[in-house]
């Protein structure tokens, strides 16, 4: 059995241990599970960045990446069947969709914390989680179409792109894509609304 020594600021350590205590997990168990996750999944369960990312930042960045994927899929669908660059672009689009789908899966719960900017009232049960799940499903279907680059790929991609675009616009109503995060009045997120009623 090996020992891992890490340096953590006192305040951060105290706050983290308070959370661990609430969940009935010791620091040793938390670190062991982090290492187990790394071995099982080959990736971190969180983002390491030089800047702290707010949920709205990740939400906005992910939607921008979805828009770029839509544009790439539409360009590919417009190519004629015999175009020499079609196979290469299909592979690139498939890899992009796969990476985007994985990133959404890893960030959906965090993005759900973003405050909703839509001034229209929403159903209390409506949240971004379902839309992000649909996005992942549609991206996976697009990957399948791209993997099996059959003769009718253009028609299938056009249909897939339409579905991805529809979910994109549903998600875009939750957040201001073009303005700074802290500009204008925010309506609290539905999670915050529900917790304040308790």
Q: For 14-66, how does the pLDDT look when each residue is reduced to its tens digit (9 = 90+)?
A: 888 888 888 888 988 888 888 887 888 777 776 666 556 788 888 989 999 99
Residue found by looking up tokens 């938390």 in the block: 30
The domain segmentation of the chain, as residue ranges, is 10-41, 55-197
pLDDT bracket for residue 194 (50, 70, 90): very low
Quick one: tokens of 44? 């971190």
pTM beyond cutoff 0.75: no
Closest CA to 71 of 52, 48, 35, 97: 97
Average pLDDT (81-94) is 86
Q: What are the two backbone dihedrals, phi and then psi, of residue 122, each rounded to the nearest 5 degrees?
A: -120, 160
The class level of CATH for 55-197 reads: mainly alpha
pLDDT of residue 125 exceeding 60, the answer is no
């Amino acid at each position: 059995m090996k020992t891992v020594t890490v340096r953590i600021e006192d305040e951060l350590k105290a706050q983290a241990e308070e959370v661990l205590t609430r969940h009935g997990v010791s620091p040793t168990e938390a670190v062991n599970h982090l290492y187990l996750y790394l071995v099982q999944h080959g990736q971190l369960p969180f983002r390491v960045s030089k800047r702290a990312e707010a949920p709205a930042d990740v939400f906005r960045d992910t939607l921008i990446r979805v828009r770029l994927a839509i544009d790439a899929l539409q360009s590919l669908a417009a190519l004629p069947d015999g175009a020499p660059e079609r196979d290469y672009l299909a592979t690139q689009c498939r890899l992009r969709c796969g990476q985007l789908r994985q990133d959404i899966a890893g960030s959906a719960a965090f993005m759900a914390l973003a405050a909703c900017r839509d001034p229209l009232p929403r159903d209390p049960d409506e949240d971004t989680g379902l839309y992000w799940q649909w996005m992942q499903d549609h991206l996976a279907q697009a990957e399948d179409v791209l993997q099996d680059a059959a003769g009718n790929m253009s028609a299938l991609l056009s249909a897939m792109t339409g579905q991805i675009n529809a979910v994109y616009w549903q998600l875009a109503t939750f957040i201001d894509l073009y303005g700074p995060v802290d500009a204008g009045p925010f309506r609290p997120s539905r999670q915050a609304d529900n917790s304040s009623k308790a």
